[in-house]
């Protein structure tokens, strides 16, 4: 099987499902403060499925609101623009890729892992005083490159999964061996295509190597959360390998054993509820 050129992969991004226009607008406005919130709220509310999912998330125990939120405008008022934007993004992304394209790839397990990573990132971020919304979104999207490869090259990705099982190797190594590209490169290409902020791109680019110069704290949070979720086997993937954790990234979190036990517990509790909302 001949290796896939990055340029070909990037060209194929045009054929991928696109996010709703309003979500694209939200993502590219991630670092802007002068967004007209009422206009965005109105645009989102035209998409009833997206609105329903977003409001269910806003009312979940993840945010512990004392009031029931019934409109996007209310969600913004009570949770703030950033948080609401991330909820809308989560609701949109989890519904935009077709499933069942690659027989050896378990779409459900993929999303369960992504959602668990998002929950874990948010829990860790709160403890290390990092922006919880960025952390949640980065956790949700860190492996999105796998969906790019599955959607664009389903036959080759089946071969990747077969190679992984046969050689008991990490997914990243199997992708490189079979396809010549990996999900980090694919995720970076998509992040650019979808106009993700620099913060988000760095987290996707370095979630496997958080010690790289300039990787940033968010990459370390995602790296650690990804490893925890694999180790706890939350996603229920067969033959799951827990990746090696960077000791520098782990130490950078500055948490003691008791704090980590709380992180594990909170992640498991929040995961079930968010999964029901995003995949239900």
* Higher-pLDDT residue of 213, 20: 213
pLDDT of residue 112: 93
Under the banding of pLDDT at 50, 70 and 90, the label for residue 52 is: very high
Per the confidence metrics, is the pTM higher than 0.75? yes
Pick left, alpha or beta for residue 32 (phi over 0 → left; psi -120 to 50 → alpha; otherwise beta). beta
Q: Which domains does the chain have, with CATH numbers?
A: 20-93 (no CATH), 99-280 (1.10.3210.10)
pLDDT of residue 120: 96
For residue 28, pLDDT beyond 70: no
**What span, in angstroms and rounded, lies between the C-alpha atoms of 109 and 238?**
9
Q: Enumerate residues 6+ apart whose C-beta is below 8 A from 101.
A: 150, 151, 154
Q: Tell me which DSSP letter residue 209 carries.
A: -
pLDDT of residue 222: 98
Q: Report phi then psi at 40, rounded to 5.
A: -65, -40
Under the banding of pLDDT at 50, 70 and 90, the label for residue 234 is: confident
Q: How many CA atoms lie within 13 A of 18 on its CB side?
A: 11
Task: Outline where 64-193 has alpha helix (H).
Answer: 72-79, 81-93, 107-127, 132-141, 144-152, 154-167, 171-179, 183-193
Question: For residue 164, how many other CB atoms are within 10 A of its CB?
Answer: 21
**What span, in angstroms and rounded, lies between the C-alpha atoms of 145 and 105?**
13
- For 235-253, the pLDDT digits (tens) are 777 666 778 899 999 999 9
**What span, in angstroms and rounded, lies between the C-alpha atoms of 88 and 277?**
12
- In the block, tokens 């989890």 appear at 94
- For 190-202, the pLDDT digits (tens) are 888 887 888 899 9
pLDDT of residue 94: 85
Q: What is the mean pLDDT of residues 45-53?
A: 89
Pick from 109-123, 130-144, 223-237, 253-267: least confident? 223-237
Q: Find the angle CA(83)-CA(87)-CA(93) to the nearest 5 degrees.
A: 140
DSSP reduced 3-state for 175: helix
User: Rg of the Cα trace of the chain?
Assistant: 18
* C-alpha distances out from residue 106 to 65, 109, 252, 269, Å: 34, 5, 33, 23
- For 154-198, the pLDDT digits (tens) are 999 999 999 999 998 999 999 999 999 999 999 999 888 887 888
């Amino acid at each position: 099987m001949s290796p896939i050129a990055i340029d070909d992969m990037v060209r194929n991004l045009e054929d991928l499902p696109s996010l709703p226009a309003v979500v694209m607008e939200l993502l590219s406005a991630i670092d802007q403060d002068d967004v007209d919130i009422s206009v965005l709220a109105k645009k989102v509310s035209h998409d009833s499925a997206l609105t329903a999912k977003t409001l269910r998330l806003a009312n979940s125990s993840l945010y512990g609101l004392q009031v029931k939120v019934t409109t996007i405008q209310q969600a913004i008022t009570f949770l703030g623009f950033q948080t609401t934007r991330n909820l809308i993004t989560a609701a949109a992304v989890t519904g935009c890729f077709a499933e069942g394209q690659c027989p050896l790839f378990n779409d459900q397990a993929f999303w369960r892992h992504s959602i668990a990573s998002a929950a874990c990132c948010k829990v860790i971020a709160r403890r290390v005083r990092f922006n919880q919304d960025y952390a949640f979104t980065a956790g949700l999207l860190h492996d999105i490159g796998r969906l790019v490869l599955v959607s664009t090259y389903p036959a080759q990705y089946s071969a990747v999964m077969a190679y992984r099982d046969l050689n008991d190797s990490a997914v990243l190594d199997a992708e490189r061996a079979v396809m010549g590209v990996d999900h980090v490169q694919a995720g970076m290409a998509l992040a650019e295509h979808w106009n993700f902020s620099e913060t988000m791109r760095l987290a996707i680019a370095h979630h496997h190597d958080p010690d790289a110069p300039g990787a940033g704290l968010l990459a370390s949070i995602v790296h650690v959360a990804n490893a925890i979720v694999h180790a706890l086997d939350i996603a229920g993937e067969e033959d799951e390998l827990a990746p090696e954790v960077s000791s520098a990234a782990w130490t950078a979190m500055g948490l003691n054993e008791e704090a980590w036990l709380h992180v594990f517990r909170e992640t498991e509790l929040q995961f079930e509820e968010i999964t029901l909302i995003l995949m239900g």
